[in-house]
Amino acid sequence: MNYGCIPVPNHHFHRFSARFNRAALALGLCSLVWQPAWADDWSHSVAVASDYVVRGISLSNEHASLAWDISYRGDTGWSAGLGLAALDRDAEGRRLLLTAHLGRSWQLSTDWAAGVALSRSAYPGSARRHRFDSSELSASLGWDGRVNGSLAWYPGAYRNDAQGRPRSGHALSAELSLRQRLVGALALDAGLGYYRLQARAGSDLPATALGYGYGNVGLSWAQGNAQVYLSHIASQAHSRGLTSAARAADRWVLSLLWEF
C-alpha cells in the first residue's frame, strides 16, 4: 500500500511502518511487509532519499527529501503510525507531507500473512495544496516475507494531468512486489503496479478513466539499524496523460534509512 511513505521497495519515503516495506517510497511502490512475530513495539525511523516517489511519480520535483516516522504495533496485530516528510520548496516555502495510518494484520499460517489499513495524507500549513489531501483504504497479502500483493482504493483522488488541468474522482491501484536475498545482507527488490483514476467531468473536460503502469528494480542492504536502497523506477504516467514528463521520467533513487 502506498501512503506516500518512508523510502524503502514496493512503498513511497510509500508505505509508515506497520510495517511497510520501507523501500516502497523510494522504489515508487508501497506495499506492506507484515512481520510474522507480534509483540508490543514502538519504532522510530529517519530517512533521506534523492527523490520522493509515490506510485512512479515524484512528489518532490526530483529533489532530495527527508522523512521521519513513528509507529506502534500491538501484540494483537493492530498498528498505528504518524510520518512527516519534508519535500521541495515552492512559493509557499518548504512543502511538508503528513501521513497517519491505522492497520490490522493477521498471521494466516507460518508463511502467509494479510492486513488491511486506512491512511490519511495532508499538506499542513498550505492554503493551495489542501485539494491534494487524500485517504487510502488498502488490503495486503504476503508470503514468506518475499512476495507481497496489495490493492488500494482512494475515494477522493486529485491530480493535475499532463496539461496541468485538475482531474478528480476515485482511484484504484494494484501492486506486486518481490524481495529475494542474494548474499549476506544484500537483497534484490522488484515491483510492478497499476493505478487507475476514474476522473469526473470538469468544466471543459469529459468524464474519463486514466490509468498507467509503474515498476522498479534495485538492490537493498541492511546492517543493524541501517538500511540502504538503490532502485531504478519506470512509469507510464506521463505517456498516459496523468502528469508532467519531469515527474514521471525514468530515474535512479538512492535512499538511506535509520531505524531505532
Q: Domain 7-259, what fold?
A: Porin (2.40.160)
Compute the mean pLDDT over every residue in the chain, rounded to the nearest whole number: 82
Looking at the chain, the number of H-run helices and the number of E-run strands are 1, 16
Q: Please give the Cα distance from 23 to 242 (Å, whole number).
A: 24
User: How does residue 26 score in pLDDT terms, banded at 50, 70 and 90?
Assistant: very low
DSSP code of residue 201? P
> Could you read off the pLDDT of 123-182 as tens digits, one per residue?
887 777 777 888 999 999 999 989 999 999 999 888 777 677 777 788 999 999 999 999
CA distance linking residue 256 with residue 122, whole number of Å: 24
- Cis-peptide, bond into residue 19, ω within 30° of zero: yes
Angstrom distance (rounded) from CA 200 to CA 198: 7
CA nearest 16: which of 77, 59, 72, 64?
A: 72
pLDDT of 52: 94
- DSSP assigned state of 129: G
pLDDT tens digits, one per residue of 74-127: 989 999 999 999 988 765 566 899 999 999 999 999 999 999 999 999 988 777
> Per-domain residue ranges for the chain?
7-259
CA separation (Å) from 103 to 36, 66, 136, 147, 255? 15, 24, 11, 19, 25
pTM for this model (two decimals): 0.83
Q: What is the mean pLDDT of residues 4-24?
A: 37
